[in-house]
Structure 1
Amino acid sequence: MNSWENMPMSNEVLTVSQLNRQVGQLLEGHFSRLWVRGEISNFTQAASGHWYFSIKDERASVRAVMFRGRCQAVGFVPKAGEKFEFRATVTLYEPRGDYQLQVESMRRAGRGDLHEAFLALKEKLAREGLFDPARKRPIPAMPATVGVVTSLAAAALRDVLTAMARRAPHVRVIVYPAPVQGLDAAGKLDAALRQAVARAEVDVLLLVRGGGSIEDLWSFNDEALARSIAASPIPVISGVGHETDFTIADFVADLRAPTPTAAAELCCLSHEACARAVRVAFASLAAHQRRLLERASLRLDRAAAMLVSPQQRLGRQALHLQGLSQRLSRAAAQATAAQAVRLDKVRARLAHAQPRPQGLRSELNHRRQALADAARRLLERRRQRLLALAQTLEALGPRSILDRGYAIVRKEDGEIVKNALDLSVGEQIGVELARGSVRANVIRAHGLL
């Protein structure tokens, strides 16, 4: 039977519950299980384990639910911005009259356009080093003034102001208003941030917003805003969305807080922490001062022990002077005695060294005669030795050899002939005798090699 046949007649009056029930039956009867492709948004995981989210494309969105038993079979938790293909049935939630999809299973179908743009910008800025921890500025522990960039109507501003009033009422708060959602929100957030930097009246900046979908938080994924945060000389704390939400501002900020309230808690020490630090510093200062006083007291006691009266000092100096006088007297007496002893020794040496002319003259004559006798004996020994050497020289000389019948044979150039084989037949030689010389010609030569 066609489901349209169960439709009421035009004159029948229905209650709202009846209408919603019939519309639900119509939808469930007309649409069997189907596949729907779309991007997840506004994802929530309830305490019961059910998933509630929206499925959207560029022009429309539809609510969806996936019950715990079905969720456990998926094997992962989807993230907002990712695209999936959903196996679902169309149902109507009768209390509100809203139709929704009851998802039975899902499979990945690629990421959503916004998520793709988010990942592309994140990768670009990461390559440029804007997320590098080395470039992030330290957050001051005790700022005097804190700036907040957010919307005046945002619940995040109330959370920050409440936390600051509770934890650090001594810290001044300046708000730089800018919309946190909408087409021109990113540009106005960037302008507010640059205004805070130009005015240079705060020690740290909080960029905050409450939670929402990826579309709601998209203003904080703006490239110009990210570059302004990186270039800010003032440290920036990002507290955008909930703990599971991440934006480009979170990565480029000097510190990321999970919530706006957490950003207020991280930007400065609490009043109690400051008071505790002051108490600790005061106790340390008091202990240091006490140690200084104790050391000064010890030095004073030692100085007092060393202090003497003028009478005692004069008495000690008089005793010292008397001792020096006695030492001087003894030294003078000892010096006189030593000089007398030295004088006696010099007299004795002088008397011993006094010249005696008569005795010295006799000794001089005796030594002169002894010197003359020694000279004569030395000359006689030298003459005898010279005669002996002359005789030896004469006996060994060539003339004496010639006198014994020997001769000296020389060649025409005067060279002495020692071997007959050195002569040639017919060569003229000279023969030197003891008395005279002869010249001869060689007729025959024989000798030994």
Structure 2
Amino acid sequence: MATDPFFSTDLPAAGADTVLSVAQLNRQVGNLLEGNFSRIWVRGEVSNFTQAASGHWYFTIKDERASVRAVMFRGRAQAVSFVPKAGERFEFRATVTLYEPRGDYQLQVETLRRAGQGDLHEAFLRLKEKLAAEGLFDPSRKRILATMPRAVGVITSLAAAALRDVVTAMARRAPHVPVIVYPAPVQGEGAAAQLLQALHVAIDRNEVDTLLLVRGGGSLEDLWSFNDEALARAVAASPIPVICGVGHETDFTICDFVADLRAPTPTAAAELSCVDRLACLDQVSDLLVALARQQRRILERASLRLDRAMAQLVSPQQRLAQQRRQVGALQQQLWRAVCRHHELEGARLNLLKTRLGSALPPVARRRRELDALQRRMLAAGSRQLRAPQARLDAAALTLQALSPRKILARGYALVRDPRGELVKNALDLSAGDRLTLELSQGSADVEVLKTTGLL
């Protein structure tokens, strides 16, 4: 009889009377299972799914004839981009283990994929790796979305619930932004080519600032049109920024990675395409308040400048009165200056007269002396009347002839410099010198035009 490999064990040799504890039995059975069922693939339907607070997944895998319990620990579950739902069919890669406390065997799941889609998943990973290596997922090449788009384009099916979600979200969030639909089927044969054509139409018409590539959730096969390489390259090369909102939050497609922004749902894609109208209004309101505040500051500063300018501004009447006062003050200053000049000139003239008087010969004293001599002569008697009288007359004539006044009376003049000194030599003078001429009757101020020495 051939030995069944599934039931071959390395149990230690024991006699018929060997007794094992339940724990020992379960441990040996667990070792047997783990050693013979290491990392197998099992296909089945999920039921009784529970996500514990610890993050572990507990569920049952069943088909039409049997079921088995399964567990997927938190570290493995976090690597899955979706949460399984009851009734969905998957292929599970797992290890067969035994839960020793109860003696129940279970599957310890490492990863899972949708049933029948293993090849699609492998193709998805290969294309993802290829495009990533070319840099199509690089964040540096992502375009910046317009915050205030003139219009938003939607590439999806006219019958898709995603279109209703987008239109509803746009009507609620930004009713002022037009929505232009570029219809194309989102699944089935030829859907990828028609999506690509709709994208080219949107680019050629250039009537929107943002494109939304959206559809609802589904299986990997349902979403496969959005994993098309040609469509992904066109999305990456689009001059119009593209937001990809395909499936649910846990669904990922190649278009999600190459798009400028990935939205978890079509509704979220619509919300990310533009700023909320209420937020815009609040921002505009804040800006208007800030603008009014700034204008008020500007007006206040201008008012202060105007007040200072008006304080410095003088009316024509005030300016004329101020100029009259200035003219009056200047006239007074001029009059005082003229009077002061006259006083100075008068004092100077008196000084010159005094100096001139002191410089003239003592005619009066000489006359007095002469009178005294005459009296003495008369008193001397008459013995020498004739001869002395003749000498006296002659002396009087001589004296009169020598008198400066007599000389001046004949047309001569005394010339004095500004210091009052007599000028005796023309060579001591220069053109432009001011002189005073003392005449027989009065005096005159003159200016030297030219000097000439004696030949």
Q: Please, what TM-score do these two structures have when normalized by structure 2? A: 0.55
User: How does 1:308-387 map onto structure 2 within 5 Å?
Assistant: 308-325=314-331, 344=418
- C-alpha separation between the residues in 2 aligned to 1:249 and 1:63? 40
Residue in 2 that maps onto 1:389: none
Say if 1:43 and 1:52, in contact at 8 Å, map to a contact too. Answer: yes
Q: For residues 107 and 173 of structure 1, do their structure 2 counterparts lie closer, same or farther at Cα, with a shift above 3 Å needed?
A: closer
User: How does 1:189-200 map onto structure 2 within 5 Å?
Assistant: 189-200=195-206
Residue in 2 that maps onto 1:160: 166
Say if 1:74 and 1:106, in contact at 8 Å, map to a contact too. Answer: no
1:224 aligns with 2:227: no
1:265 aligns with 2:271: yes
Q: Give the SS at the match of 2:200.
A: helix
Say if 1:147 and 1:176, in contact at 8 Å, map to a contact too. Answer: yes
Residue in 2 that maps onto 1:104: 107
- C-alpha separation between the residues in 1 aligned to 2:65 and 2:241? 40
Q: Give the SS at the match of 1:194.
A: helix
1:135-161, Cα deviation, whole Å (9 max, x unpaired): 211111122311111111211111111
- The Cα shift of 1:350 comes to 10
1:291 aligns with 2:291: no
Q: For residues 54 and 322 of structure 1, do their structure 2 counterparts lie closer, same or farther at Cα, with a shift above 3 Å needed?
A: farther
Say if 2:245 and 2:262, in contact at 8 Å, map to a contact too. Answer: yes
1:22-58, Cα deviation, whole Å (9 max, x unpaired): xxxxxxxxxxx99974689999965584457899xxx
Q: Give the SS at the match of 2:244.
A: strand
- The Cα shift of 1:264 comes to 0.9
Q: For residues 137 and 109 of structure 1, do their structure 2 counterparts lie closer, same or farther at Cα, with a shift above 3 Å needed?
A: closer
AA matched with 2:71: C
1:57-105, Cα deviation, whole Å (9 max, x unpaired): xxxxx999764xx2146962274899754579xxxxxxxxxxxxx9734
**Match for residue 206 of structure 1 among 188, 212, 231:** 212
- The Cα shift of 1:210 comes to 1.2
Residue in 1 that maps onto 2:128: 122
AA matched with 1:104: L
Q: Give the SS at the match of 1:190.
A: helix
- The Cα shift of 1:263 comes to 0.6
1:131 aligns with 2:137: yes
Residue in 1 that maps onto 2:71: 71
- C-alpha separation between the residues in 2 aligned to 1:43 and 1:108? 17
User: How does 1:270-281 map onto structure 2 within 5 Å?
Assistant: 270-281=276-287
**Match for residue 180 of structure 2 among 174, 179, 187:** 174
Runs of 5+ unmatched residues, structure 2: 1-35, 83-89, 97-104, 353-416, 430-455
- C-alpha separation between the residues in 2 aligned to 1:350 and 1:193? 123
Say if 1:207 and 1:239, in contact at 8 Å, map to a contact too. Answer: yes
Residue in 2 that maps onto 1:10: none
- C-alpha separation between the residues in 2 aligned to 1:128 and 1:349? 118
1:292-347, Cα deviation, whole Å (9 max, x unpaired): 22222222222222232322211221232344455567778999989x99x74798
Runs of 5+ unmatched residues, structure 1: 1-32, 56-61, 89-101, 356-449
Say if 2:71 and 2:109, in contact at 8 Å, map to a contact too. Answer: no
- C-alpha separation between the residues in 2 aligned to 1:207 and 1:194? 13
1:147 aligns with 2:150: no
Q: For residues 264 and 107 of structure 1, do their structure 2 counterparts lie closer, same or farther at Cα, with a shift above 3 Å needed?
A: closer
- The Cα shift of 1:116 comes to 2.3
Q: Give the SS at the match of 2:71.
A: helix
Q: For residues 325 and 184 of structure 1, do their structure 2 counterparts lie closer, same or farther at Cα, with a shift above 3 Å needed?
A: same
**Match for residue 233 of structure 1 among 239, 255, 261:** 239
Say if 2:246 and 2:256, in contact at 8 Å, map to a contact too. Answer: yes
AA matched with 1:296: A
Q: Please, what TM-score do these two structures have when normalized by structure 1? A: 0.56
Q: For residues 53 and 306 of structure 1, do their structure 2 counterparts lie closer, same or farther at Cα, with a shift above 3 Å needed?
A: farther
